[in-house]
Amino acid sequence: MVEFSYVLNRYPVAFQRAEIEPLGAAGGMSGARLWGITGSQGLHVLRRWPSEHPPADQLQFIHDVLRHAARKGALFLPLPVATTDGRTFVAHGGHLWQLEPWLPGAANFHDSPSPAKLQNAMRALARFHQATSDCDLRLGHQGKSIANTLTARMLPCPGMIRRLKRLGELQSGGTDTLKHAIVAADWPELARAAHSFVELLPSAVPLAIGLLAPLSDVQFALQPCLRDVWYDHVLFVGDDVTGLIDFGAMAIDAPAVDVARLLGSLAVDDAAAWQRGLKAYAAIRPLTPDEVRAVAALDASGTVLAGCNWNRWVYMENRQFDDRQQVVQRFELLLERLRQLVRRNAPIPL
């Protein structure tokens, strides 16, 4: 309670007198810990970010972008509450803390999917992109690294450049490193799927590189992007989107990165669902032909690298997760998507 008292004392008095309920990770896997804060200001969430990320300048960038988006009409975002000294987070105990409103709705697409939900999720993403398209790219740490050399907003996609580098590393011995790291005694419920995933990489990695490489020099409009938006980060009441949540990965990138990430999680390998999602998004923010090609390439490479990430986190970095079965389910979905990619020898047709 001392920890909570220090943090909540940085906020207006109403929050200092609130009831506190531990929520753990609340189903998330970012490493953040959450507490419900109930008081005269309604229900809020106190979030303690993991000590590793994001750094303070990155978190300030995230909060600045969220405020900008809300001013431009994206009203489905949990804007951080200001402290008594006007900041939007507190540094304490080796962590960054923030207080944000509890948004209505549930992240229930996986358990209760529908075409309307898929379309509304893509429309919400498009509205976020539309609202942040004119953000000052010098905001925060991530903005500075690009804006210092930026004379216009058009540059090659940073997400593609990062992925091509990582795919190249897999071709140069990284696949063998992953394979040898898998130990059945650690996470035995995951080991069989992990081995199956790695066995597919020699076929999948060249395919992913072949899709990305022709687009690596193409210039895209850059702006703040979520970069880790998937179905568990979209809240619904009925079929309507009531919130987007969890912005810890936000950085300057090309919107196609977000489109591929979210639509891949919603539509999986259903080509018709992909078409519905792209159409819904493009009705708000039209996509260029290069962006459509990029979405397909980014989805394929994202499937490859997401599975590699899980292998590395579990078997090389020994990360711990509250819900191991949730991790297994996500990994098995990635494995099935990789199998489909290798079987087609092509991305989802868009």
Q: What is the 3-state secondary structure (H, E, C) of the chain?
A: CHHHHHHHCCCCHHHHCCEEEEEECCCCCCCCEEEEEEECCEEEEEEECCCCCCCHHHHHHHHHHHHHHHHCCCCCCCCCCCCCCCCCCEEECCEEEEEEECCCCECCCCCCCCHHHHHHHHHHHHHHHHHHCCCCCCCHHHHHHHHCCCCCCEEECHHHHHHHHHHHHHHHHHHHHHHHHCCCCCCHHHHHHHHHHHHHHHHHHHHHHHHHHHHCCCEEECEEECCCCCHHHEEEECCEEEEECCCCCCEEECHHHHHHHHHHHHHCCCHHHHHHHHHHHHHHCCCCHHHHHHHHHHHHHHHHHHHHHHHHHHHHCCCCCCCHHHHHHHHHHHHHHHHHHHHHCCCCCC
Task: Count other Cβ atoms within 10 Å, centred on residue 64.
Answer: 17
Average pLDDT over residues 236-248: 95
Of 101, 134, 161, which one is at a domain's C-terminal end? 101
Average pLDDT over residues 18-26: 72
- On whether both 183 and 288 belong to a single domain, the answer is yes
Tell me the CATH number at 247: 3.90.1200.10
- On whether both 57 and 175 belong to a single domain, the answer is no
Inside any domain, residue 42: yes
| pLDDT for position 303 | 96
Q: Over 80: is that where the pLDDT of 114 sits?
A: yes
Inside any domain, residue 284: yes
Query: Considering its fold, how many domains does the chain have in total?
Result: 2
Average pLDDT over residues 105-122: 96
- On whether both 119 and 213 belong to a single domain, the answer is yes
pLDDT tens-digit series, residues 204-235? 999 999 999 999 999 999 999 999 999 999 99
Model confidence at 262, in pLDDT bands (50, 70, 90)? very high
Percent of the chain predicted with pLDDT > 70:
92
| pLDDT for position 145 | 42
State phi, psi for 234 to the nearest 5 degrees. Answer: -120, 125
Q: Which two tokens stand for residue 26?
A: 């609340």
Inside any domain, residue 74: yes
- On whether both 90 and 120 belong to a single domain, the answer is no
d(CA 44, CA 265): 28
- Report the mean per-residue pLDDT for the chain: 88
- On whether both 274 and 310 belong to a single domain, the answer is yes
pLDDT tens-digit series, residues 116-156? 999 999 999 999 999 999 887 665 444 444 444 344 478 99
Of 71, 101, 131, which one is at a domain's C-terminal end? 101
| pLDDT for position 130 | 95
Model confidence at 25, in pLDDT bands (50, 70, 90)? low
d(CA 87, CA 63): 10
Average pLDDT over residues 233-239: 97
| pLDDT for position 285 | 97
- On whether both 244 and 328 belong to a single domain, the answer is yes
In a 13 Å sphere around the CA of 123, the CA atoms on its Cβ side amount to 14
Q: How many residues does the chain have?
A: 350
- C-beta contacts of 166-175 below 8 A and 24+ residues apart: 166/305, 166/308, 167/205, 167/208, 167/209, 167/212, 167/301, 167/304, 167/305, 168/209, 170/201, 170/205, 170/304, 170/308, 171/205, 171/206, 171/209, 174/308, 175/201, 175/202, 175/205
| pLDDT for position 151 | 42
Inside any domain, residue 110: no
Q: Which two tokens stand for residue 272?
A: 């018709």
Q: Over 70: is that where the pLDDT of 8 sits?
A: yes
- On whether both 95 and 119 belong to a single domain, the answer is no
- On whether both 43 and 131 belong to a single domain, the answer is no
- On whether both 71 and 185 belong to a single domain, the answer is no
Of 40, 69, 101, which one is at a domain's C-terminal end? 101
The pTM score is: 0.91
Inside any domain, residue 108: no
Beta carbons within 8 Å of 18's beta carbon, 6+ residues apart: 8, 37, 38, 39, 40, 41, 44
| pLDDT for position 271 | 94
d(CA 178, CA 309): 10
Inside any domain, residue 197: yes
pLDDT tens-digit series, residues 27-84? 455 677 888 888 788 889 999 998 888 899 999 999 999 999 999 999 899 999 999 9
Tell me the CATH number at 91: 3.30.200.20
pLDDT tens-digit series, residues 263-306? 999 999 999 999 999 999 999 999 999 999 999 999 999 999 99
Inside any domain, residue 109: no
Q: Over 50: is that where the pLDDT of 19 sits?
A: yes
Inside any domain, residue 185: yes
- On whether both 299 and 330 belong to a single domain, the answer is yes
Average pLDDT over residues 4-22: 81
| pLDDT for position 244 | 96
Range of the domain at 48: 2-101
| pLDDT for position 137 | 66
Among 88-102, 103-117, 147-161, 312-326, the range scoring the smallest mean pLDDT is: 147-161
- On whether both 271 and 295 belong to a single domain, the answer is yes
- On whether both 123 and 231 belong to a single domain, the answer is yes
Residue for token digits 């999986």?
Answer: 268
| pLDDT for position 150 | 43
Bigger pLDDT: 235 or 189?
A: 235
